[in-house]
Amino acid sequence: MARKDYAGHAPKPRNKRGAKKAPPAKKKRPVLAILLFLMLAIGLGYFLAQVSGTAEKAQPAPITKTPPKKLTVKPLPEKPKEEWQYPQDLQEKEVIVEIPPQQDTGIRYQMQCGSFRQRAQAESMKATIAFQGYTANIRH
């Protein structure tokens, strides 16, 4: 019995629905793009022709030169001397401020100053806060 050669004769793969793939679309010439380009070129040419025609028609009137007028300059008035009185007044005054003593209302505030992975870092922050004059606690 003769051997059959199946190379190149495998069945064509099908998409998920089982239908055959559509053949690739034929390449169309870009007729629409060419027409659009030509219309834009013609429109641009027409616009430029209209603009160049208006520039020749609307010429400004010739400018006549008149001699400049001489300006008279008035001298500036003298700068007034300002003497401020408040620096001397402030040196002589004494301000008395009465500050009432603060009463302990029992309200305490808490503030989180950091979150650390190692206890040594938390101890370092606690020491820094203690140098500022406050008390600090470390919680796990």
| Dist. CA 112–CA 114, nearest whole Å | 6
Percent of the chain with pLDDT over 90: 22
Q: What's the one-letter identity of residue 5?
A: D
| pLDDT at residue 1, as a whole number | 57
Burial class (CB in 10 A: 0-12, 13-18, 19+), 129: middle
| Dist. CA 70–CA 65, nearest whole Å | 15
| Dist. CA 69–CA 48, nearest whole Å | 44
**Domain segments of the chain: what residues?**
115-140
Predicted TM-score of the model (pTM)? 0.26
